Amino acid sequence: MDEDYRPLLPDRHPQANLFICDVADAVIKSDMASMEHPIFTLSKKPIRDVKRYEHGDVVLEVTPGPKGIANIYDKDILIFAISQIMAARNEGRQYSREIQFQAQDFLEFSNRHTGGHDYDLLRDSLDRLDSTRLRTTIKTGGEETWEAFGLIEGAKIKRKRHDGRVTEWGLKLSEWLFKAIEANEVLTLHPDYFRLRKPIERRIYEIARKHCGSKESWQIGLKKLQKKCGSSDAIRNFRLAVRALCDFDHLPDYSVSMEGDMVSFRSRVSQQMIVGSGFTTKLMPDTYEAARQAAPGWDVYVVEQEWRAWVMSLLDQGMEPPRNPDSAFIGFCRKWAARQQR
Is there a single domain that holds both residue 47 and residue 125?
yes
Alpha carbons 244 and 65: distance in angstroms, whole number = 33
Whether residue 104 is contained in a domain is answered as: yes
In this prediction the pTM is 0.77
Is there a single domain that holds both residue 163 and residue 239?
no
Confidence of residue 47 (pLDDT cuts 50, 70, 90): very high
Contacts of residue 111, defined as CB under 8 A and 6 or more positions apart, other chains included, come to 9, 11, 12, 13, 194, 195
Whether residue 3 is contained in a domain is answered as: no
Is there a single domain that holds both residue 281 and residue 264?
no
Alpha carbons 96 and 113: distance in angstroms, whole number = 28
Three-state secondary structure call for residue 38: coil
Q: Per-residue pLDDT tens for 51-62? A: 999 998 899 999
Instruction: Over range 249-267, report the average pLDDT.
Output: 94
Per the structure, the complete domain to which residue 84 belongs is given by: 16-195
Confidence of residue 76 (pLDDT cuts 50, 70, 90): very high
* Count of Cβ atoms closer than 10 Å to residue 99 Cβ: 21
Q: Per-residue pLDDT tens for 277-296? A: 456 677 887 788 888 888 88
Whether residue 145 is contained in a domain is answered as: yes
Q: Per-residue pLDDT tens for 1-17? A: 555 667 888 888 764 43
Alpha carbons 87 and 99: distance in angstroms, whole number = 13
Is there a single domain that holds both residue 31 and residue 116?
yes
Number of domains in the chain: 3
Which whole-number Å values give the CA distances from 64 to 46, 70, 114, 268, in the listed order?
9, 8, 28, 37
Contact 42, 229 (CB under 8 A): yes
First-to-last alpha carbon distance for the chain, in angstroms, is 54
Is there a single domain that holds both residue 228 and residue 107?
no
Q: Per-residue pLDDT tens for 126-153? A: 999 999 999 998 888 787 767 778 999 9
Confidence of residue 230 (pLDDT cuts 50, 70, 90): very high
Instruction: Over range 326-337, report the average pLDDT.
Output: 88
Contact 100, 73 (CB under 8 A): no
Is there a single domain that holds both residue 256 and residue 286?
no
Alpha carbons 218 and 194: distance in angstroms, whole number = 23
Question: What was the pLDDT predicted at 341?
Answer: 67
Is there a single domain that holds both residue 185 and residue 291?
no
Looking at residue 236, which CATH number applies to its domain? 3.30.56
When mean pLDDT is compared across 36-40, 66-70, 313-317, the lowest value belongs to 313-317
